[in-house]
Amino acid sequence: MTADLPRSSSRSASLYARALKVLPGGVSRNTVLREPHPLYADRASGCRVTDIEGVERIDFANNMASLIHGHAHPAIVAAVTEQLARGTAFTLATEIEVRYAEHLCGRNEGFEKLRFVNSGTEAVMASLKAARAFTGRHKIAKVEGAYHGVYDYAEISQTSNPSNWGSAAHPASVPVAFGTPPSVLEDVVVIPFNDPQHALAILDEHRGELACVLLDLMPHRVGLTPAEPEFVSALRDWTLVDGSLLVYDEVITFRSEYGGAQEWYDAVPDLTALGKLIGGGFPVGAIAGRRDVMDVMNPLVGDVLFPHSGTFSANPVTMTAGLVTMEMFDHDAVAHVNGLARRAVDGIESAIEATGVSACVTAGGSMIRVHLKDAPPANYREAFPTLRESRSLRLLLENLLDAGILMINTCSASMSTQMGEDEIDQLVAAMRCGFEELVLLPPGR
């Protein structure tokens, strides 16, 4: 079925009118909003999703990069179905929780102990609280523009803009939510990405005050550009001397290598926040890291520095789906999806050259992002789109949608193991058609 249905009279339009009456903005998460209404999923299988109008698209969004094996993988469905019949949640521990923790710890030598939570946001929040408990300090540092979920301290500066972001050498702490306490702004130190000189100068102003430095190794909103090894090493060395911790947010990037994107670097973190793909399609989060740091949550020690629990943490349905998912995501599977991403980058760069459009691609592991800029951005400020770029990006995404390609709304794509070269080539062809449309736009559009 084609994707050019009359949207004003579609089932989706009618459903959205109902949703507006009971949900703020008609949605429970802003990322699904699009004009004139969201798309509503009906079913999905493999790398394709079908909406309630019957339109099928190749899914390069994969629920914001959380689905590494696509939709409804038979092995995951079978395992979860069996567990559902045995129960979904207990006020008891489960064997699957232990088995899954053993598996994840076996993927990365830095994961000496691990605790499960229910989302990436919660994993980051718990990591920061563990760092505070371990160091006895309350301030944290983070990269300008980096998204780490909705915890007050983790979200600072993720939506800053030219009107409020301050100098490039010393970015301002900018709140996201109206009503954020001023004390939060004072306790979050913002550093520029991939700029060790200015980052260290800022950190030096807070020696002895920081609980941790929080770092996404390939922050999506900063441009989906991998961190430079020199930048990561500089932060690792600084925290070791200072006595603060280095915390990696690998909620998205853990899909990049068998043991996460941190395999790209020599700098081993003290803690790592995990989420997304490790849930196998179900809500999940985890904190992993050094034994002594993780033990601030250990209820068997004398004084528990960070009492931690959660009603649905390590629920057996998620644990079952997650373990099956990650066992299938072996070294060969990692190589497959990363190879697909490289093929996509090569094809899109060829399309850019052929059409003469002002665009570029950034990538790492199994994810790519297309920017409507002449050169790959090095940091959040360079990645920040102009008004014209934002308008053109919306047109490009609409063209891709009409061509049967579903992307993350920044024009990013995440690969799944259910894709092959044919799907990548369809993405490249659709992208080229979109570029051709953009080239024809009159100035000012």
Report the b/e string of 347-380 with b at 16+ CB within 10 A. bbeebbeebebbbbbbbbbbbbbbbbbeebbbbb
Contact 406, 60 (CB under 8 A): yes
Contact 378, 225 (CB under 8 A): yes
Q: How far is CA 434 from CA 121, 132, 345, 351, in A?
A: 34, 48, 16, 10
Residue 24, preceding peptide bond in cis (omega within 30° of 0): no
Beta partners for 188? 140
Q: What is the pLDDT at residue 301? A: 87
* pLDDT, tens digit (0-9, with 9 covering 90-100), for 378-431: 999 999 999 999 999 999 999 999 999 999 999 999 999 999 999 999 999 999
Query: How far apart, in whole angstroms, are the C-alpha atoms of residue 162 and residue 223?
Result: 16
Mean per-residue pLDDT, 256-284: 98
Query: How far apart, in whole angstroms, are the C-alpha atoms of residue 124 and residue 70?
Result: 25
pLDDT-derived band at 4 (thresholds 50, 70, 90) equals: very low
Query: How far apart, in whole angstroms, are the C-alpha atoms of residue 383 and residue 221?
Result: 8
Strands 41-45 and 271-275: unpaired
Q: What is the pLDDT at residue 372? A: 98
Q: Extract the runs of DSSP E, i.e. beta strands, from 109-226.
A: 113-117, 139-143, 166-167, 170-171, 188-191, 210-215
Give, for 48, the enclosing helix (H) or strand (E). Answer: strand 48-51
Which domains are assigned to the chain?
A: 7-68+330-439 (3.90.1150.10), 74-328 (3.40.640.10)
> In the structure encoding, which two tokens stand for residue 220, read together?
């999506």
pLDDT-derived band at 3 (thresholds 50, 70, 90) equals: very low
Strands 285-289 and 41-45: unpaired
pLDDT-derived band at 123 (thresholds 50, 70, 90) equals: very high
Query: How far apart, in whole angstroms, are the C-alpha atoms of residue 124 and residue 285?
Result: 9
Residue 8, judged by CB atoms within 10 A of its CB (0-12, 13-18, 19+), counts as exposed
Q: What is the pLDDT at residue 8? A: 59
Find all residues with CB under 8 Å of 431, minimum gap 6, and list them.
347, 348, 351, 370, 396, 400
Which residue in 73, 81, 75 sits closest to 48, CA to CA? 73
Q: What is the pLDDT at residue 15? A: 96
Mean per-residue pLDDT, 156-182: 96
Q: What is the pLDDT at residue 250? A: 98
pLDDT-derived band at 440 (thresholds 50, 70, 90) equals: confident
Sign of the Cα pseudo-torsion (338, 339, 344, 346, in order): positive
Task: Kindly give the interhelix angle for 95-107 and 316-328, rounded to the nearest 10 degrees.
Answer: 30
pLDDT-derived band at 444 (thresholds 50, 70, 90) equals: low
Mean per-residue pLDDT, 52-60: 97
Q: What is the pLDDT at residue 356? A: 97
Q: Is the pLDDT of residue 432 over 80?
A: yes
> In the structure encoding, which two tokens stand for residue 235, read together?
């932060």
* pLDDT, tens digit (0-9, with 9 covering 90-100), for 11-43: 999 999 999 999 999 999 998 998 899 999 999
Report the b/e string of 186-203 with b at 16+ CB within 10 A. ebbbbbbbbbbeebeebb
Mean per-residue pLDDT, 298-327: 95
Query: How far apart, in whole angstroms, are the C-alpha atoms of residue 410 and residue 397?
Result: 9
Q: What is the pLDDT at residue 445? A: 54
> In the structure encoding, which two tokens stand for residue 378, read together?
């090095």
Contact 211, 178 (CB under 8 A): no
Strands 41-45 and 48-51: antiparallel
pTM strictly above 0.85: yes
* pLDDT, tens digit (0-9, with 9 covering 90-100), for 58-110: 999 999 999 999 999 999 999 999 999 999 999 999 999 999 999 999 999 99
> In the structure encoding, which two tokens stand for residue 289, read together?
């890291």
Beta partners for 289? 113, 271
Q: Is the pLDDT of residue 302 over 90?
A: no
Find all residues with CB under 8 Å of 51, minimum gap 6, and list them.
12, 39, 40, 41, 42, 57
> Taking the CB of residue 231, how many other CB atoms lie within 10 A of it?
24
Query: How far apart, in whole angstroms, are the C-alpha atoms of residue 385 and residue 321?
Result: 38
Q: What is the 3-state secondary structure (H, E, C) of 160-181?
A: CCCCCCEECCEECCCCCCCCCC
